Structure 1
Amino acid sequence: MALIRRRNSATFRLFSSDNTMTRMYEVYIMNRPVFFQENAPTDAHSLVIREPDKSTLDALPNFIREHPELNGIVLLSSDPEALWMNFCFGYREILAAGCVVYNREGSFLWIERNGKWDLPKGKVEPEEKIEAAAIREVKEETGIGQLTLIKDLGKTYHTYDENGVPVLKTTFWFLAVHDGGDTLGAPQTIEGITGVHWLPSPVPNSIQEGTYPSILALMNRAVTAKSDL
């Protein structure tokens, strides 16, 4: 089940498993996952905070910055949706869209952006459909066309500061296939992109260590989705 709600420019999503109806939200703050959920985690490396208040939510970025040893934070609440909305109201939202692209050879499309391995994505234009934005961004950032969307991969959330304003970016992701082989790309250098590459899965450790945790988790999800086709 998925619930999408818009209010004060914030987008909220409710995740539920088929059997347990467990509600959970996940956002990356300074590249660390923060979970909003009802049930206690089994991961002993995650810090658990029970029923956090608004001041605790507002202090999360500084707390994570001061504790780089944390793998993640779990915020336990009897009402994760209300807690998530309370968190979102402190941010300006930006909507983006992107694709995990594979080709006929089974390779996946990666880019090098600002010194990190990444996937093509970008902001959704006003009145633009999410699916159209995802395809457009891939073409603009990589020069790769002939794309067909195969499956919705869900959304990712991460936060950052933009000129002192806290931003929550919601990115809609799709699995897409390129009707070709290892087609030569054209990096959009104005966006800080210096390389376009087709790589096998799994990628080497050097690339896994040089990308963002959210991107690595998304790629793993995409590989699973592709194998289920």
Structure 2
Amino acid sequence: MVYLDHLLKARNAALMSGGKIIKGQRRQHVVERIMDTLDDWRSSPWEHEGSTRAGLRAALCQLGNGWNESDHEAAALLGTALKKLGKADRPTWIEGQPEYLLPRENCIRCGDALDEETIESRGRFCSDICRQSAAQFNTGIHQLANRRAYIRTWYVVAKAAAPERPCQMCGKGYRSAFEEQKFCSYSCSCAAQRNPERRRQCAHCQKAFVIRQTAGKTQRHCSRECRLAAWEMTDFRCEVCD
């Protein structure tokens, strides 16, 4: 165990000497977004810490960094955000539980008063129904909140590290975590749909329609029905027997 402790200390020292992955204003921007995620808590100010660190680490690993370096950078970013929020001092384990501030004389699910036997046995629910309901509710809520925090922090790092690209509509430079994104904003995406160059006349019903972005310049029909109808009306002839 002593050897392992020295090994971990040496590894952490080597990681700290390696420098920061995200620097300058990008680092400040990422920390501010992490603060927004951590500050959106319900039961405890530290409830999103694990999922936030996992999201940061995943985004940094996807950028080509090693797992250890990414984990150390995620911990540093998270520590900076917690320090700025004034949450660097950790509570005890019992103080960190969601039920710490709730009165022990009432059911933590429905709020009804507990009987003396339940209070003496340190029970927190008035019935099995409340116990099962609380377990299902807390599991779903915590999973959803953790997943949301994970995605938010992953997107912040991926967007900050992405190269700047021009918008295909207005030409303005923007950053995006998704390679398939073509426009800088929703308004530019809508404007591209209204672009006259994307308007075309259906080869079957002769009605005007707008070409889908995923279809490219080869789309000739306004709908699947028109495409099938045009195909059925096509006179196919064999080049050999005819």
| Same fold per superposition (TM over 0.5) | no
TM-score by length of 1: 0.19
Bigger proportion of residues as strand: 1
Q: Which protein shows a greater Rg?
A: 2
